[in-house]
Structure formats: C-alpha cells, structure tokens
Amino acid sequence: MSIFDGLGKFGLGDLASSNVFEEEKKEESKATAAAAKSPEDVEAEMLLDKKYQCPQCEKEFTSKMVRQGKAKLAGQEMDLRVIYENIDMTKYDVVMCPHCGYAALNRYFGASTSTQLKLIKENISMKFQPKEFNGKIYSYDEAIERYQMALINALVKKSKASEKADICLKSSWLVRGKMETLDPQKDAEEIQKLKEQEKEFSKNAFDGFVKARSTESFPMCGRDEYSTDYLIAALAYKNEKYDIAMRMLGGVITGQNVNPRLKEKARDLKDEVVKKTKA
C-alpha cells in the first residue's frame, strides 16, 4: 500500500508510486560520485580546449580555458585574488602559442602591433623551443611557466606598465595557490622559496600599478579608478609601505559612487594597516 493511495480520486493515480525522498537520493548519488573523482578529474571537467590563431606565426593551436558558469565562487582575498571551489582559475588566464612562444594574458592576446610582433619574433620566436602542454589540466609549475612567458613577451614588446603589473599580480596569486597545495612540514624549504617568489611578484605588481596610475587612463586592466586605488593600497600593505596604503585607502573610503563592498574592504584593510603601524 502506498502513502499516496487515494490520489486516483483526483485523477493523479499515476503519481501514487512516487518516492518522497527520491530526488534527495539522486542528489546524494551525484555527490558520492563526485567525491569518488580525483581533484584533477573534477578540475578537468570544468575546462575546454579553445582554438586560437597565433598573431605571430599564424599557426592554430588550442589553450585550456574554464567553461563559463562552471566555477563556483568561494571568496576573495585582500589583494583581490578570487577563490573558486575545486579550481584555481588563475592557472588558465594565459594564452600561449606552443609553436613560437607568443604569450599574453587572455585580455591582451592578439592585441599586439606589427612593431611589437617584430620584436617578439626577433627576441623570442627565433630562439624558442616548442613545448606542448598535454595534460588534462595545467599543473601549477606549467601555469607558472606560461606566466613567465607572458611576462617576457610583455617586456620584449614594451607593453604598458599596467599589463606587466597585472601579469606580476596574477603570478603572485598563482605562486600562493601552489603553496596552498604543499605540506608545511614536508615542503618547508620549497614553501620558503615560493614565499620569496610571491613577495618579488607582489613588489613588481605594486611598482607597476603605481607607475601606471600616473601615466595611463582608466579603466585599467578592467578596473576603475577606485578598484585600482584599493589594489595599490593592498599591495602597499603587503610591501610594508603603510603610508601609501593609508593615502590610497582614504580616497576609496571617502570617494563618491564607490561600490559599498569595496568601501567595506577598504575599511577592513585600513584597520589592518592601523594595527601594523601601532605594532
């Protein structure tokens, strides 16, 4: 006898055999199946291979990208690094031609002038040794190599300070992401080296954005004036330049039409700066 016996009187006899918790059991089965997959498999399912044509050598290639809507937001850190569940999206923001070494952040890929392409050809492509990335995902080491290629391309083609600063900023995020996968006890020596590398990237990002702030117009790397000022303050804080951090935060906190969430982040960061200066 079903708990839904009697629904036939309402013309719903076909639903009499329904299971009250059937959907919950299906969801549990999905969760169990997902838990059985390796972290690499879970990450790989969020990716796709996007086709590109290199503006330098004109050859076609594919680069791994994160599928739209697949990554679930988990939080944001002080220097605007965004955290997602089961994937570090920063690993997939560089597009690199495996044939000639042309590389750039996705935002800038293909935007090089003929003069810049000539510089890349002469200084990079003519010396470059082709390398394929054939794994299901990009490892942190592979992703760091790709960012190094994007940065050397930016230097060679004399990119704006903001582009070079953005690469350094995201490189610092990437190094931090790698550290988070290591064991503090077993990998202490490697973690220390990565901390130094992150600090160097952070310093270069700070210097670059400060220069860009006075020489370039907004939006800058997709950020408006207040977001950029907050970011400079966060990088100043990380580099122990507390007077600069306070000055930049003041403008964000008192500015008109500033996003309320950004103002709140600025106030939180100001509290941290005050604590450091008092200490």
What are the boundaries of each domain within the chain? Answer: 1-36, 224-279
DSSP state string for the chain: --TTTTGGGGT-GGGTT--TTHHHHHHHHHHHHHHHS-HHHHHHTTEEEEEEE-TTT--EEEEEEEPTTTSPEEEE-TTS-EEETTB-GGGGSEEE-TTT--EEETTTTT---HHHHHHHIIIIITT-------SSS--HHHHHHHHHHHHHHHHHTT--HHHHHHHHHHHHHHHHHHHTTS-TTTTHHHHHHHHHHHHHHHHHHHHHHHHHHHHSPSSBTTB-HHHHHHHHHHHHHHTT-HHHHHHHHHHHHH-TT--HHHHHHHHHHHHHHHHHHH-
pLDDT of residue 120: 97
Q: Are 119 and 156 in contact (CB under 8 A)?
A: yes
pLDDT of residue 213: 97
- Residues linked to residue 60 through DSSP beta bridges, in sequence order: 53
Residues in CB range of 161: below 8 A, 6 or more apart: 208, 209, 211, 212, 215, 216
Q: Mean pLDDT for each 10-residue chunk of the chain (279 residues)?
A: 66 69 69 75 97 96 95 96 97 97 95 96 96 90 97 97 98 98 96 97 98 97 97 98 97 95 97 92
Q: Are 119 and 157 in contact (CB under 8 A)?
A: yes
* Separation between Cα atoms, residue 105 and residue 9, nearest integer Å: 64
pLDDT of residue 50: 97
The tokens for 204 are 């270069």
pLDDT of residue 4: 66
pLDDT of residue 33: 59
pLDDT of residue 151: 98
* Separation between Cα atoms, residue 20 and residue 17, nearest integer Å: 9
pLDDT of residue 113: 96
- Token match 């299971």: residue? 19
